[in-house]
Amino acid sequence: MKIEFTNTIDQTGAVCVAVYAKNKTSSAADVMDTATDGMVRKAIASARFTGKAGQVLEVLAPSGVKADRVIIAGVGSQQDNMEQAWESFGAGVMQKLITSGVSAITFVVGALDGAHAARIVFGAMLAAYRFDQHRTTLSDDKKPSVTHIRIAGEQHASAKQQYAALHELAQGVYLARDLVSEPGNIVNPESFAARVQQLEVHGLEIEILNEKDMAKLGMHSLLSVGAGSNYGSKLAIMKWSGGKKGDAPVVLVGKGVTFDTGGISLKPSNGMWDMKGDMGGAAAVTGAMRALAGRKANANVIGIVGLVENMPDAAATRPGDIITSANGQTIEVQNTDAEGRLVLVDALWYGITSFKPCRIIDLATLTGAIIVSLGQENGGLFSNDDSLANDLSAAGAASGEPLWRLPLGSGYDKLIDTPNADMKNIGGAGAGSITAAQFLQRFVGDVPWAHLDIAGMAWKDKRADPRESVWATGFGVRLLERFISLSHED
Ligand code: BES
Ligand code: ZN
Ligand code: ZN
């Protein structure tokens, strides 16, 4: 995508103007209305157009201007978060035009401030994402036609400058969506680790541990999950040291089950293909690290992803097997499909013992139960620290990737006791997301920790927001990047 910031209006392709409410047009819309003999007002009056963020009206072959199309798009007027409204505005226009045949979109923004103008481009970029590379027979009319985004306005220089960091963020979201979308035969623990290794070019320091390294460290909880796979399990570590030397880092940990069959506790076959996305937590952490490095964040942040494939096999872990985690606690694996927590606890242990973090946050597509609780509207948030939970909630609201906090407590904790070992890896019939979080909490001690269960958010069958793509959302990248900027940068 070619992106330009200018103060001259190029009328080739589509020209887009904003409307705040039915009777509240932008000055650019007014100029357009005059040039076209009242077309903008007529179009608004003849459609059910209220100016809500994301609403789009399209006028083809307008007279009075050179543009092929005039796009009248809503941005809304009374939002608590105008940043997001402008993102939705840009995204709505891109969704409408991406395969329309138009190659250039010019957003005419008048005196709009640079920060909001930059958000238009960011929203449009999020909406322009496609996962088409495996479609060899896609007809031309279904291929994207838009190759240019232009912002024409007085604050173009400031917009350009502020967009630079958002472009890196968009690249992080794209990376996460790619990782989640790719099937298990393409993104497996080894190829995922290789993709992480490539992030070195952005200034991240990368380290990859293999099975031998992890066995030496005693990480048998993580290793037990990959025991049935032909791929070698990996732990990939990404370091970004943009903060003060010696400041304790924030550690981000991701569940990277590149395919979850359930193992010997095999999942039903119908819908199992979705489990190619069971590395959504690892994808979010990887995408966030890519974004933070790209924009040279003033913070020390470490990303750790536990990469395994959960397969049934003669070498696979059996239900009832007892394993010892790296911190010495023993686990009775009653269900091999509750594997995410087994991966996370050793990755959390590695993060805590190696880096002494000020805060540690894990992200995982951990439980189907979180979808029962929260649907696909909020990620689940669990934490042993109110200030961390509040910071994450604030970042979620600001970024448009919302979280909802759920409780922890000793009553829930008891549900994972077993007479055969220190704990079992499943609870009882109820509160499945909470017992999973209790399991993790047994490994973090007093380090401020939060767990985000994003099983309902990492992919969606239907697009819920114009900024999202059809399946993989990239959920977590924008949230984590915002969390670092709001809470860990000056
Ligand atoms: N990867 C799944 C959770 C999941 C389900 C993610 C649906 C996304 C959509 C996880 O490994 C799993 O299978 N969890 C089990 C836990 C149970 C056995 C205690 C579940 O949720 O059923
Ligand atoms: Zn599972
Ligand atoms: Zn899983």
Query: 190 CB under 6 A from ligand 1?
Result: no
Residue 453, ligand 1, Cβ within 6 A: no
Band (10; pLDDT cuts 50, 70, 90): confident
Q: Which of 123, 90, 92 is nearest to 107 (CA)?
A: 90
Q: Quick one: pLDDT at residue 160? A: 98
**Residue 160 falls inside a structural domain:** no
Quick one: 89 and 206 in the same domain? Answer: no
Question: 54: pLDDT confidence band, cut at 50, 70 and 90?
Answer: confident
For residue 80, count CB atoms less than 10 angstroms from its CB and return exposed for 0-12, middle for 13-18, buried for 19 or more.
Answer: exposed
List pLDDT tens digits, range 66-85: 999 999 999 998 777 899 99
Q: Are residues 104 and 214 in the same domain?
A: no
Indicate if 258 and 215 belong to the same structural domain.
yes
State residue 358 phi and psi, 5-degree precision: -75, -30
- Give dist(CA 449, CA 213) in Å, integer: 26
- Asked if residue 53 belongs to a domain, the reply is yes
Q: Tens of pLDDT along 248-291? A: 999 999 999 999 999 999 999 999 999 999 999 999 999 999 99
| Cα dihedral across residues 188, 194, 196, 199: positive or negative | negative
Spot the catalytic one: 267, 405, 442, 460: 267
Sheet with 205-209, strands from edge to edge, namely 205-209, 234-241, 300-310, 250-260, 359-364, 449-453, 379-383, 403-405
Q: Using a 6 Å cutoff on CB, does residue 376 contact ligand 1?
A: no
Least confident of 45-54, 155-164, 453-462, 477-486: 45-54
pLDDT of residue 131: 97
Looking at residue 304, its pLDDT comes to 99
pLDDT digits (tens, 9 = 90+) for 377-394: 999 999 999 999 999 999
Single-letter amino acid, residue 182: E
98 vs 182: CA distance, rounded Å = 22
Question: Which of 154, 181, 207 is the endpoint of a domain?
Answer: 154
pLDDT, mean of residues 187-216:
99
Do both 274 and 420 map to the same domain?
A: yes
Quick check: is 415 in a domain? yes
Query: Is 164 a domain residue?
Result: no
388 lies in some domain: yes
Pair (364, 480) in one structural domain:
yes
pLDDT of residue 213: 99
Catalytic residue among 52, 234, 341, 424: 341
* Cβ 454 under 6 angstroms from ligand 1: no
CATH number, position 66: 3.40.220.10
- Report d(CA 341, CA 326) in Å as an integer: 13
Where among 84, 119, 154 does a domain terminate? 154
Q: Which of 154, 180, 204 is the last residue of a domain?
A: 154
| For ligand 1, atom 16: residue with the closest CA | 338
Interior angle at CA 318, CA 313 and CA 320, nearest 5: 175
Q: Judge whether residue 398 has pLDDT over 90.
A: yes
Model confidence at 407: pLDDT above 80:
yes
Q: Which two tokens stand for residue 58?
A: 């399209």
Report strand pairing: 300-310 vs 234-241: antiparallel
> Could you tell me the sign of the dihedral formed by the alpha carbons of 205, 210, 215, 220, in that order?
positive
- How much is the average pLDDT of 159-165? 98
Say whether both 351 and 219 belong to one domain: yes
Q: What percentage of the chain has pLDDT greater than the value 70?
A: 100
pLDDT for 149 beyond 90: yes
Residue 11 confidence (pLDDT) = 87
* Same-domain status, 46 and 140: yes
Structural domain includes residue 162 = no
Q: What is the pLDDT of residue 77?
A: 87
Angle at 89 between CA 86 and CA 95, to 5 degrees: 140
For 375-476, where are the alpha helices, taking DSSP H only?
386-399, 410-414, 432-441
CA-CA distances (angstroms) from residue 431 to 33, 176, 329, 458? Answer: 57, 29, 23, 21
**In a shared domain, residues 176 and 119:** no
* pLDDT computed for residue 421 by the predictor: 99
How confident is the model at residue 369, as a pLDDT?
Answer: 98
pLDDT tens, 307-329? 999 999 999 999 999 999 999 99
- Banded pLDDT at 89 (limits 50, 70, 90): very high
In a domain, 458, yes or no: yes
What is the reported pLDDT for 490? Answer: 86
Q: What spacing in Å lies between the alpha carbon of 279 and ligand 1's midpoint? A: 12
138 in the same domain as 13: yes
Mutate which of 259, 334, 337 for ligand 1 pocket (most atoms within 8 A of beta carbon): 337
Convert the pLDDT of each residue in 422-472 to its tens digit. 999 999 999 999 999 999 999 999 999 999 999 999 999 999 899 998 899
* 341 among known catalytic residues: yes
As a whole number, the mean pLDDT across the chain is: 97
Q: Ligand 3 centre and the CA of 356: distance in Å?
A: 27
pLDDT given at position 290: 98
CATH number, domain at 197?
3.40.630.10
Q: How many domains does the chain have?
A: 2
Question: Closest Cα to atom 7, ligand 1: which residue?
Answer: 368
Q: Are residues 295 and 421 in the same domain?
A: yes
User: Does one domain contain both 271 and 379?
Assistant: yes
Looking at the domain assignment, is residue 233 inside a domain?
A: yes
Centre of ligand 3 to C-alpha 81, Å, is 34
Q: Which residues pair with 218 in a beta bridge?
A: none
- Is 463 a residue of the active site? no
**Are 388 and 423 in a shared domain?**
yes
User: Which of 79-88, 116-125, 475-484 is predicted with the least confidence, judged by mean pLDDT?
Assistant: 79-88
Neighbours of 260 (CB within 10 A): 26
Contact 166, 122 (CB under 8 A): yes
* Ligand 3 center–CA 26 separation, angstroms: 48
Q: What is the mean pLDDT of residues 365-380?
A: 98
Domain that holds residue 117: 2-154
